[in-house]
Structure formats: C-alpha cells, structure tokens
A and B are shown apart, each in its own frame.
Chain A
Amino acid sequence: MAAVQRLIGAGRMPYVFLFPNFVFFGLFVFLPIGINVVFSVTGGPALFPSERPFVGAEQYAYLFDCGSYLDPSSCREDHFWRGVWNTAVFVLFQVGTMVLVSLVTALVLNRPIRGRGFFRAVYFFPVLLSPVVVALIWKWILQRDGLLNAAITSLGGQKILFFVDPSWAMFWAVFVSVWAHMGFYTLILLAGLQAIPSDLYEAAEMDRTPRWRILRRITLPLLWPNMIVVIVLSLIKGVQTFDEVFVLTGGGPGTATLMVVQYIYETAFANQVQNFGLAAAASVVLGLVLFALTLAQLAATRMKER
C-alpha cells in the first residue's frame, strides 16, 4: 500500500479507501437501479437488457389495468393488487399493534423494577431469530394438532384450522411479525423514555400530580419523536414483509396473505414463466412507496434530533 501512496500521492489516498466500497455500491446498487427502470419498460423473456424489446409503459399499464383499484378481482394482474391490499391490511394492523405493545412494554420496563436487564433481554431475544426460524416455531404451535389447539380443546373448545381460515391466517401473520420485532421497537422507545429529564417527574411529584396525568402531559408528549420513528420504521419494514409470512402461510390460504414482495419474487423467479419486466415494474412502484416513507423517516429523525 505504501507503494500505491508513492505512486498517486497522499492527497489521492481517500479515493483508494473509498474505492472497494463504491465498486460494490456501483455494481449492486446504482447499476441495478438503472437496470431496474430499463427492465420495467422492456418486455420479453430475455435477461440481458439489450435483448429486450422496448415496450414503453406497457408493463405499468398492465399492472394498473383495473376495473376498480379497490377490488383486486377486477384487475388483469389480480395477484399484484391482492398483494397490495394484503400488504396494506397487514401493515395497518401490524403498525398499530406494534406501537401499542412496544409502548406498554417500554413504559413497564422503564419503571424501577427488579431484573430490568433480564426482562429487556427477554423481549429482545426474538429479534435475533431468523424469519424462517420464527415462522417454523409458530407453524409448529399453530398446526392442527399443535400446542394452541391442545390448549383450546382442553378448555372445551373445538380445534381451529388457523391456516385454512383466511382471517385467522392474516391474524397470525400480524401476530408473529409483532412477536418477532416488538423488542426492537421497545428498545427505541425505552431509549426515548430514559432521555426524559427526571427533574420533570420530580417536579410533578412535588405537585402531587396523578400518575395518569404525568403520563399524558409529560411522558407521551416528550416520547412523541421516538413514537414517530417507531411508526415510520415499522411502516417501512412492514411494506417489505416477505420471509416470515411466506414460510408461515406460503401466502395462503389461496392468496389471503400474499404480500406484494412475494408477488415480485414469484413473478421474477418462481413462476413457470419468469416475467422480469413485470416484476421490475412492480418493484419500481414499491420503490416509490418506500422512497416516500423513507423521506418521512428522515424528516422524523430530524425532528427527533431537534
């Protein structure tokens, strides 16, 4: 390396340090973004861009060819819209539950309780598990002769086929996802709670303010920036959900839990006819949504810093 420096001079060394990383960024991020757009406006089965005939906005028109956007079955590409709506429902319930559960957990963990570190670790542990492992654990518990059905029948109930009933399948998709990730969001909220100056609480206690009013007037308003980070982050991750749900339900029953990412993956790789153009068009649409959400996140983070 000393020879390199003698050759190009110390002033150009920063470029040497940046070089490997930017080769990777270029090959696997910048170049692909460009190719993705090219793919989405070309057709045919070829993988190499120059062999793909230009079709203009045809892929997008095909995706958006709907009688009514609210009814996936009226769309030509009904699986895409099923994915969109399933993802929307999933994200809505997931974010709502996530915020509520991690807020309660963070508030409890912020109290002067014994073994706080242990409990924090307990809630955090599933965050480290791989989505496949998470899905398999719950699949094992929720199967027809599984632990949960054993509990239900011992209480005098009937076995429930959780993955045959569409609403149950969606419920468990949300539940498992919250189970796996709530520890992460709890940690973000906990960091926010611990940053609230304690003299505020001391003053409030001096005035004999009731606990619930302290919560409403001090804790929640000061925690709000962290809450926004949690909401936006879980939104972004929710829109990208694939692995857990895919292994848990396979997108089923039917298409009841098919997410938009699974649609993209299957259109490009798993279907009999691999349609790269259509998958690319769908991912450009998804990318725009994520871009908007990321801008919101950046704005939220800036707000938190202020």
Chain B
Amino acid sequence: MAALARLLGARRDGPGRPLHWTDIASYAYLAFGVVLMFGPVLWLVFSSFKTQSALLEFPPSLMPMAQVEVTVPGQPNPLPLFRATLPDGSVKDLAQIRRVGLVVQMVDPAEPDKTYRVAIDKREPVRKVALATENYTEPLRQFAFLRFLSNSLFVTVVATAITLLINSMAAYGLAVYEFRGKAAATLAVIGTLMIPITIVLVPVYLVVTELGLVNSLWAVILPGAATPTGVFLLRQYMLTLPRDLIEAARMDKASEWQIYWRIVMPLTLPALAVLAIFSIMWRWNEFLWPLAVLTKTEVYTLQIGLAAFQGELQTQWHYLLAMTVVTLAPVALVFVFLQRFITTGIGSTGMK
C-alpha cells in the first residue's frame, strides 16, 4: 500500500504533494483509455483462438474454452464430457452418448458399461482452456493466405526501398544544389502533397493499364513510390548537414554521386529511418488503390484478401479473426520496439 501511495503521490512538480481530485480523475480517464484502446485488440486476439462453436456462444466467454471430449471404450467417436447431477444427488463426470428430447443418455468413462439417463438441465459441460490453433494453420492450407502474406511483404519491402532511394535523391538535389528550375521543382513537390490517390483513381488506373501492369504487384508499388512528404522530410534534414563536408569531399575529387551515396546518405540515416517506418506503415495498410487495381486472387495483398474474405465467408469468423491477428501482428511488433521513434517522428513532422 505504501508503495502504491508513493507511486501515485510522488509528482514531478513537488514530491509528497497530496493528490488533487483532478489527479484521480486523470488516472481514471487514462485507465478507461487503456481499456478502450487495447481492449478491442485483446478481445480480437483472444477470440481468434476460439473454436468455431465457442465463437457462436452467447454470451461469449473471455478465454477460449472448449468442451472436454473423452474416448470411451465401445464408442466409435469421442464423446463430450459433462458434470451431471444424478437423481440421488451425487455429482459425476459423464460422457454424453445421445440426446433424446429433454433427456440425454450418458456413460461413465470409468465404467463404460454403465449408462445413465439424465435430464438436460441437470448437466453442465466440463470445459477447459483450449487454443484453437487450427484457426491459424487451416487458412494456410485452404486459402491463398500465405500468398497474400508474401504479396504484402513484397510490396512493402520493394516499395519502401524504391521510396527511400528516389526520395532521398530528389531531396539531395533540392537541398544541396542551386540550379535553374529549382523553385518550380520545389513547388511541384509541395503541390503534389495535396493530391490523394482518391482524386486521380481513374486516370492512374489508365496509366497503369497502358503500362500493362494491371493485376501485377508493380501496379501497387510504383504509383506511390515518389512521396512529396518523404522528399520534404529528407530535404529538411539534409539542409541541417554541414556544407563544409560536401565541399571537402569535392576537394578530394569525389563525384556528386559519391558525395550523395557515401557521405550524405549515411548522415541522413535518422530521417531515412523515420521515412522507412512511415512507408512500411503506408504500404502494409494500403487498401483503396490495391482494391481498384488488383482483381485476381493470386495478386491480392493481405488487406484486400481480408476484405474479400469477410465478404464471401461471413460465417467463417474463426478464420477471419486469425488472419486479422496475423495482419496486425507485424505492425504491433514494430510498434513495441520503435514506439518512441514513431511518436516523436510523427509529433515533429505532423504526418502519418
């Protein structure tokens, strides 16, 4: 208790100051926030381990539970186990053979020849925590899930690599040189900041068609590769690098490309890391454009696969939930490790 009081009572602006009611309200608000923000995700993860029948249960239980089944000698199939209250008041774990109206026929697994007749309201299912891992393994066999996953990985990795390369080149060009047309080029970059894919959906589709890229993953990768936000972010960072370094390299007869690749790029690593995180997030989560340009199942990304999946197989929540968890897992992992950089990166640049 003392530790708890110290934890709550010690404040940065005056240790030992008594708690004001607003402090208590703040902590209550934050606790509620934790439940509201994390709760739904946890609920999804818990649910994804439930068997199909457990998912249909109402009211739902928090933990993935399944009824225990036992194999009884002389019975062809495993039987569900119940805790039954017998007419004499004793309680026994019995396996159910069949149900006839309001009465069930049960057998004692310990003594397979003894059968009982029990009213259905006199028995409770025996349940244990059981993880339905088949929710995760089955879609791999039955559906093109692995395909979607590798498509998404390919798009994310290749697109991020291209984005980092060409955006840093452009940023370097705009940050380091004075040249004719620089103002126009900068303006063009700012101008494109305003144009979301939504507006140019149809004509980009036309361009991609003319390039013969429909139903190819390149159709997803290429249109978003040059990002004005990326150029901007990197350019701002490169402007802070000392110019003497570049001058010194020129004295040493380094080519412009070598200066960019050997000197400026390594120094820009922090900004490149921020852009990489953003790009990975954008690409992994992208939905509308892939939805428009990918129509064949073989090239679906995870997001499209999931959306299509939930349309076609409304009832197969057990697979859908597991696939959703797989889709969010990488993002959650990245977040756990890079949380600090992501929040400061977004806080300082105001973009996501």
* Chain A minimum-CB-distance residue to B61: A150
Asked whether B201 lies within 8 Å of A264 as measured between CB atoms, the reply is yes
A279 within 8 A of B: yes
**Which stretch, A20-28, A61-69, A78-86, A88-96, touches the partner chain B?**
A20-28
* With A133-B328, A141-B43, A265-B291: A2-B202 Cβ-Cβ less than 8 Å: no
Q: What's the dominant secondary structure at chain A's contact region?
A: helix
A111 within 8 A of B: yes
* With A35-B206, A113-B30, A128-B281: A279-B201 Cβ-Cβ less than 8 Å: yes
Asked whether A2 lies within 8 Å of B258 as measured between CB atoms, the reply is yes
* Chain A minimum-CB-distance residue to B25: A108
Asked whether B288 lies within 8 Å of A243 as measured between CB atoms, the reply is yes
Asked whether B348 lies within 8 Å of A22 as measured between CB atoms, the reply is no
Interface residues in A, total, Cβ within 8 A: 96
Asked whether B352 lies within 8 Å of A127 as measured between CB atoms, the reply is yes
Chain B contacts to A: CB under 8 angstroms? 7-8, 10-13, 22-23, 26-27, 29-30, 33-34, 36-38, 40-41, 43-44, 47, 56, 58-60, 165-167, 169-170, 172-174, 176-177, 179, 182, 185, 188-189, 192-196, 198-207, 209-210, 222-226, 231, 255-258, 260, 281, 284-285, 287-288, 291-292, 303, 306-307, 310, 317, 320-321, 324, 327-328, 331-332, 334-335, 339-340, 342-343, 346-348, 350, 352
- Which 3 A-B residue pairs are closest in the complex by CB-CB distance? A17-B173, A130-B285, A1-B257
| Known A17-B170, A18-B173, A113-B23; further 11 A-B contacts with Cβ < 8 A | A1-B258, A17-B260, A21-B170, A21-B231, A25-B188, A47-B205, A47-B209, A128-B334, A129-B41, A145-B60, A264-B198
Question: Can you list 26 A-B contacts (CB < 8 A)?
Answer: A5-B255, A14-B182, A17-B177, A18-B185, A22-B185, A24-B226, A29-B192, A34-B203, A48-B210, A49-B206, A113-B30, A122-B30, A125-B38, A129-B328, A130-B331, A131-B285, A145-B58, A153-B59, A264-B198, A265-B201, A268-B201, A268-B292, A283-B202, A286-B199, A290-B199, A294-B193
Chain A contacts to B: CB under 8 angstroms? 1-2, 4-5, 10-11, 13-18, 20-22, 24-25, 27-36, 39, 47-49, 104-105, 108, 111-114, 117, 119-133, 136-141, 145-147, 149-150, 153-154, 179, 183-184, 187-188, 190-191, 211, 229, 233, 240, 242-243, 247, 261, 264-265, 268-269, 276, 279-280, 283-284, 286-287, 290-291, 294
